[in-house]
Homo-oligomer: A and B are copies of this chain.
């Protein structure tokens, strides 16, 4: 097979073997998941940080929409955990365009230019969110057999979701063309207090205003991803021997309706936490 690849890169340039201490740049390091990575994975990797504003820890400060400004952060880096961008499904088109479309392209391109071998991207279930919208709230029941997996045809529910489809597709292109390992994580509900029954329930699924409070409680228990499982998922993605993957990240919740088959088969991810039924 003749693969169209960057002539400057060969398979020999692939990253160090899984498990080696590696220099990992975290974009959006000031965010909720960025903080989880800093707290849980600092012993395993040599972490550096990219943040939009000065933080209370050392970081490169730059807007990911400005590729010239972010380039220095990628020098000497082995892998990138790309969590920067707007995390809100209700984000305006302008926010999605700036932070998630242009931003993700710039992160992939800066990584390629710097010879970074691996990028782990924040994607989202909103890339296929219409399935849930059509199936809610029945799909939140613990005896509902329906599961959405990574092979479902994309059906974004929002500009935000369409931006995530773009990020996954562009990630695939960087994997196919440039031999970069790219793992796209459709990250579940990571909440600040790490409590699937806590105060975050009322902010759950604001894009489905017809849901009752009971529906919202069921939804968060279905989609919850604990901080510990989130960190483990990112570790698995960094260490996995896989050229490209799209996987769901969710704890082992009885009401779960996203498949964990790819996360387990491709990355070896096994969740340790479980929301109440």
Contact = CB atoms under 8 A, between A and B. Distances in A.
Nearest to A93: B105
Nearest to A163: B166
Nearest to A136: B2
A77 B102 CA distance: 32
Interface stretch (A14-22, A47-55, A150-158, A261-269): A150-158
Nearest to A137: B2
Consensus secondary structure, chain A interface? helix
Contacts of A153: 151
Interface stretch (A167-175, A223-231, A232-240): A167-175
Given A4-B130, A165-B166, 20 more contacts: A1-B134, A1-B135, A2-B133, A2-B134, A2-B136, A2-B208, A3-B134, A4-B133, A4-B208, A101-B101, A105-B159, A130-B173, A130-B177, A151-B153, A155-B173, A157-B177, A158-B177, A162-B169, A165-B165, A166-B166
Interface of A: 1-4, 93, 97, 101-102, 105, 109, 127, 130, 133-136, 151, 153-159, 161-163, 165-166, 169-170, 172-173, 176-177, 207-208, 210
